[in-house]
Amino acid sequence: MAKTIYVLNGPNLNLLGTREPQIYGRAQLKDVEALCRKTAKNHKLDIDFRQSNLEGEIVNWIQEAGAKKAAGIVLNPAGYTTTSVAIVDALKAVKVPAIEVHISNIHAREEFRRHSMISPAVQAVICGCGIHGYALAISALAVLTGKSKG
């Protein structure tokens, strides 16, 4: 039976492809979802792909992933990276491995973006790889959960 990875996307990622394409590229969120599904299928994993501009909804999804014993969480917290104690607390409360993903290299951007509140609550951080960071995160979770095909 395949295990599920929750791929959770934070605020403004619904605008991917049109919002600051010089930073985030031209791929749209539907392209990210297709990449995630293809990568997960290669590892015999399922994807539950979601996006919200609402912090509380993301917290609820993290808790749901824990309750459903998901194989892992790939989280792009976007604008909540630097501000969300609630998301950090939810990640710490569930027993689900999580990887933080950022399309851009947050460490090469404005000073306020360089500190992630989320990072201490996850197993790994991938940033600056464009949308391919999502595929890397899914592959890493496959290794962490013993679902890697290689």
**Residues annotated as catalytic (active site), given as ranges:** 24, 102
**Residues ≥6 apart with Cβ < 8 Å to 150:** none
Cα four-point dihedral sign 128, 69, 144, 87: positive
Task: Report whether 98 contacts 73 (CB < 8 A).
Answer: yes
* Closest CA relative to residue 16, chosen from 131, 136, 134: 131
Six token digits for residue 47: 């994807």
Supply φ then ψ for residue 9, to 5 degrees: -120, 135
d(CA 45, CA 147): 8
d(CA 88, CA 82): 10
